[in-house]
Amino acid sequence: MFANTQWHMHGSIDLFEEDLAATEETRTVANKKRALLFFCPDVTDASTLKRVQQFTDHGYSVTVFGFRRQRYNSSYQPPWPHVPLGLTSDGRYGQRLSALLRAIPTILANRHLLKDASVFYARNIDQLLLAMLARIVAFSRAPLTYEVLDIPPILMRRGLVPGLIRAIERLCLRRTRMLVLSSPGFHRNFYDAVQHYRGEWFLLENKLHPSISRRAAALAPGGRRRPWVVGYFGLIRGEETFDLMTRLAERLQGRVLFKFRGVLTTVDSKKFDAVLRRCPNIVYGGPYLPHQDLEELYGDVDFAWALDLEHADHNSRWLMPCRFYEAGYFGVPCLAVRGFEVGTALEKHDIGWTFETPLEESLVRFFEQLTPEAYDHVRARLGAAPASMFVAGEDVARLCAMLR
């Protein structure tokens, strides 16, 4: 009897170990099935950090194939696995093409990471091409997702080269499982109207990660006395935008103070420095850490500048900028152009102000006539808005479910 019992115990242990091994094998397979390869233009960019964290939060094992750009936060060392692809620069398409070609050997050298991917996720057309190459090299059937945060100016130009790039993007879109866009304006005005894309697409706005915290005081009515303080945080770009702000500063000395934080991209640094010396009501506080310093930045201003005039006939008109979500979350109303996508959102919810052309005269008149009571009314409406308007939640969960 005892011998027989001993046999059953050993048999049970063997079966248990087999079940455990099978469970572990299933778990390993499941993990492989949830491996996401993220191809991005800048591993230090705030939107990259946010997206990687979101995918990680929803159960993906993420490896980033990414370039770097010399912006704020450029010394950041990612804690997640990443494969460096080199350096690129904003707007320098020749340099970006060269960097793209130099990245190909790196892709080939990391074939072992490619074969287990369950999703290839690419941000912008450069990375889409690399992700397609990686998928081919790995003989992978994993779906490819294409995310777009901006419409590059070259895609809106006429001529042989812009037409060729649009054709390449259309060809890639046919082999893409899903298109992810940060603004409905991109789909309505470009991917539907210009690229005639009829595939599946998903709206994933530039909302904040839920880990960003704020004090309750940040949402209290301002009640600030003049001068009013306008904050411009992030990538400082657009000569026309900066020229408008300079003229406003000159006309509104004593009434308005403009605070800049971030890095210059398409604004000339010598011109910027000259304006700082000439206009005492324009100040620059240097770069910042977007995932750490937001509360401090927005806690010190009355308005967020969201008038982007760099590409007013296309990208600037269609996008929903990060500062709409950042400022909204911290209870700071935005200033925007009427008729632009962000301006329409502000007017729909009555949580900011929009301006018609001529913008300079409209803005001067606004600041000359604005009362603390009128300001506090709009700020109170913004403070009453649901956090889900500015903070990512179920939208990311839905995307991850679709990717699986």
Cβ contact 120:131 at 8 Å = yes
Res. 8: pLDDT tops 50: no
Average pLDDT over residues 295-307: 95
* CATH at residue 130: 3.40.50.2000
67 and 35 in a single domain? The answer is yes
User: Taking the model in full, what pTM does it have?
Assistant: 0.85
The parent domain of residue 34 ranges over 29-204
Which residue did the predictor score with more confidence, 348 or 77? 348
* 202-249 residue pLDDT tens: 999 999 988 887 765 455 555 556 799 999 999 899 999 999 999 999
β-pair partners for 334: 304, 352
Same domain, 161 and 189: yes
The residue with greater pLDDT, 146 or 82, is 146
Return d(Cα 212, Cα 149) in angstroms, integer.
21
Claim to verify: residue 98 and residue 139 sit in the same structural domain = yes
341-349 helix and 322-329 helix, angle to the nearest 10 degrees = 30
Q: What is the pLDDT of residue 347?
A: 97
pLDDT value, residue 100: 83
| Whether residue 201 has pLDDT greater than 50 | yes
CA 174-176-177 angle, 5° bins: 120
Quick check: 11 pLDDT over 70?
no
Domain end, chosen from 204, 229, 247, is at 204
Asked if 178 and 402 touch (Cβ cutoff 8 Å), the reply is: yes
Residue 305 lies in a domain: yes
Q: 310: which 2 tokens? A: 């760099």
The candidate with the shortest Cα–Cα distance to 50, out of 291, 348, 230, 263, is 291
24 located within any domain: no
Domain assignment present for 136? yes
Domain boundary among 181, 204, 227: 204
Cis status of the peptide bond prior to 372, with omega within 30 of 0 = no
pLDDT tens digits, residue range 369-386? 999 999 999 999 999 999
Contact (CB, 8 A) for 103 and 83: no
- Boundary (domain end) residue, out of 143, 178, 204: 204
Average pLDDT, the chain: 87
Is 255 among the domain residues? yes
Assess whether 84 and 224 both reside in one domain: no
Q: What is the DSSP letter of 191?
A: I
> Same structural domain for residues 233 and 186?
no
Residue 209 falls within a domain, yes or no?
no
Report the distance separating Cα 353 and Cα 338, nearest Å. Answer: 9
Nearest to 107 by CA among 169, 65, 62: 65
Q: Is residue 404 part of a domain?
A: no
Residue 326's nearest CA partner among 379, 263, 389 is 389
Q: Tell me, what's the pLDDT at 224?
A: 59
CA angle 166, 145, 292 (to 5 degrees): 105
- The predicted structure's pLDDT at residue 95: 74
Look up tokens 């420095």; give the residue. Answer: 273
Q: If you average pLDDT over residues 176-191, what whole number do you get?
A: 97
What letter represents residue 155's amino acid?
L
For 188, other C-beta atoms within 10 Å of its C-beta total 13
Check whether residue 147 and residue 105 sit in a common domain.
Answer: yes
pLDDT 10s digits, 63-105: 999 888 765 556 677 888 999 888 876 666 677 788 888 889 9
One domain for residues 199 and 226: no
Provide the token pair at 377: 């009314």
pLDDT for position 26: 38
Tell whether the model's pLDDT for residue 335 goes beyond 80.
yes
146 and 46 in a single domain? The answer is yes
Token reading at 236 = 């400082």
Q: Which two tokens stand for residue 152?
A: 């590059």
Kindly state the tokens that stand for 200: 């599946």
pLDDT recorded at residue 79: 85
Whether 221 and 295 share a structural domain: yes
| 1 within domain boundaries | no
Mean pLDDT of 284-288: 93
Structural domain includes residue 171: yes
- pLDDT at position 215, please? 67
Q: Please, what sign has the CA dihedral across residues 58, 60, 66, 68? A: positive
Pick the more confident residue, 10 or 332. Answer: 332
pLDDT at 213: 78
Query: Domain check: are 310 and 370 in the same one?
Result: yes
pLDDT of residue 9 exceeding 60, the answer is no
pLDDT exceeds 90 at position 24: no
Res. 23 pLDDT band, cuts 50 70 90:
very low
pLDDT at site 247? 98
User: Are residues 57 and 187 both part of a single domain?
Assistant: yes
Please work out, in degrees rounded to the nearest 5, the angle formed at the alpha carbon of residue 398 by the alpha carbons of 176 and 306.
85
Total structural domains in the chain? 2
Residues 54 and 153 placed together within one structural domain of the fold? yes
